[in-house]
A and B are shown apart, each in its own frame.
Chain A
Amino acid sequence: MSVMALDVEKIRKDFPILDIKMNGKPLVYLDSAATSQKPKKVIAAISKFYKRYNANIHRGVYQISVKATEEYEKSKKKVASFINSESFEEIVYTRNTTESINVVALGWGEQNIRKGDHILISEMEHHSNIIPWQILAKKKGAVLDYIKVDRKTAHLDEASIEDQLAKSPKLVSIAQCSNVLGTINDVKRIAGQAHKMGALVLADAAQSVPHMPVDVRDLDVDFFAFSGHKMLGPTGIGVLYAKRILLEQMPPVFGGGDMIRSVDFLDFTPNELPWKFEAGTSNIEGGIGLGVAIDYLKKYRMADIRKHETEITKYALERLGNANINVFGPDIKDTDSRTGVISFEVPGVHPHDVAAILDSEGVAIRAGHHCAMPLVVNVLGKTAVSRMSFYLYNNQNDIDVAIGALDKVRDKFRHSRG
């Protein structure tokens, strides 16, 4: 293998959980697509907040409240610069990707979608980018359309994109990276095509922002959703980016404290951006922790993280191929459009059993429909698949241990075959 783009051994020391044992074996964590592990710096920042300056934000005049407010707001500026948004005013904090997408459906969707309108998503979406649109479409009498996945290449089908866009959808909402296939969709190009047809564009960036450089202005997306917990940050903090004009036009979705400027018995005036969309006491530790996670990622540079993950992915695909394991997603020659997510099956063995046997070897992988039932059941034709996914702290040894454990799976199920 070529020279590592990252000093992974140094990085590994920053993640305390990598020292634990699972079932008596060193933990090999291959489920970062579900949630990432957290570096010491993030854990320490959250702990420091509670130990040194815990106070509510935006209301206290005393020193620690001012400090908490500053740190929280600073984190938004870090998020804005990380995705190259124009201002922190375009950064709305939510609980996660799912909530971000729901805020768009409930705010923008409620205001703009009418009977007979089309909403366009794809066959490779996570449930969180399907259900909010199903609910909205049902409520409004709108039509939900799907871009087909090319069964051979695991990419969005070009002809299907054209056909569906010809219906002039109001909104196109697609994943930048699939959490099952690993496919990277060309959001920039699709956004260009969609805008020409008068649609707005939402990108579900849950699996892209943590793993590669992103630039919302270059992509020219209107809405952009991702989760802190998948990018080294804590759980319970997510991001909705939206172009300023859209946030100005959108009505607030949740009402309560902090999202208002003034209230009387009859009515209210909403607060300025981005607070208009954040009702009630915020997830202060979450915002602060996310900011520190971004500092950490920036230190190692997203382009290098992407390069490292591509190398690891190539290595894993080779080893899996040699072990005769069926892999889903783009071809090994196509790793440029593939993230560090590999779904696979061991012929004749149920994915649940694969995951359980790997667990007994200390290897954490996921098995199931991965919250993408239409993709797994209808496109891949499976009830479940196994999935391993990588991050900046995974090394070749992790893959070797996983492949060794997969051999054990084979051995166990070979017994009674005869």
Chain B
Amino acid sequence: MDIYAEEIISHYEHPHNKGRLDSSSASFHELNPLCGDEITIYLKIEKGAVADVKFDGEGCAISIGSASMLTDELKGMKISDIEKMGVKNVVELLGIDPGPARLKCATLSLKATQKALQTYQKDAKK
């Protein structure tokens, strides 16, 4: 199966939601030390849901393409629903199965998002 679906490449070359959010409620920088891909997710959270989201970073078509598609999806989503997301949701979102060698790339932005939410929740409890 060709993991380089046109949609992913189009997102890679013209990513949505790329950049920083100055007034973010949470952010997290995630690194794939194996290949040097890195993504920072910025979330603006209002009433337990994502009001806005942006990402910044550098990486391959799979990691950048999936970050672009994921951030589209995240807008308006409830925190509790995002926390439940996993590999299956990413595969559905991308419309391709990245396979074991590229799974880390495909899930990099979801991981960053979930870690950003963890720190957000921890801070909220203080």
Contacts and interface: CB of A to CB of B under 8 A. Distances in A.
A397 B17 CA distance: 44
B101 to A, nearest CB: 7
B37 interface: yes
A384 interface: yes
B2 A360 contact: yes
Given A368-B36, A413-B13, 5 more contacts: A351-B35, A368-B35, A369-B35, A383-B38, A413-B61
B60 A352 contact: yes
A352 B62 contact: yes
- Chain B contact residues (Cβ within 8 angstroms of A): what range? 20 to 34
Contact of B4 (A357, A377, A383, A417): A357
B105 interface: yes
A354 to B, nearest CB: 9
A319 interface: no
B101 A383 contact: no
17 contacts: A349-B61, A350-B64, A352-B35, A352-B102, A353-B60, A353-B61, A356-B62, A360-B2, A369-B36, A384-B36, A412-B4, A412-B9, A413-B9, A415-B6, A416-B6, A416-B13, A416-B14
Nearest to B4: A412
A369 B2 CA distance: 25
Contacts of B10: 415-416
A352 B102 CA distance: 9
Interface of B: 2-4, 6, 9-10, 13-14, 34-38, 58-62, 64, 101-102, 105
Contacts of B34: 368
A352 B34 CA distance: 11
A416 B35 contact: no
A202 interface: no
Interface in A402-418: 412-413, 415-417
Nearest to B61: A353
A367 interface: yes
A367 B105 CA distance: 14
Nearest to B13: A416
A367 B35 CA distance: 8
Contacts of B102: 352, 356
Contacts of B61: 349-350, 352-353, 413
B60 A350 contact: yes
Contacts of A367: 35
B36 A356 contact: no
Interface string A373-388: 0000100000110000
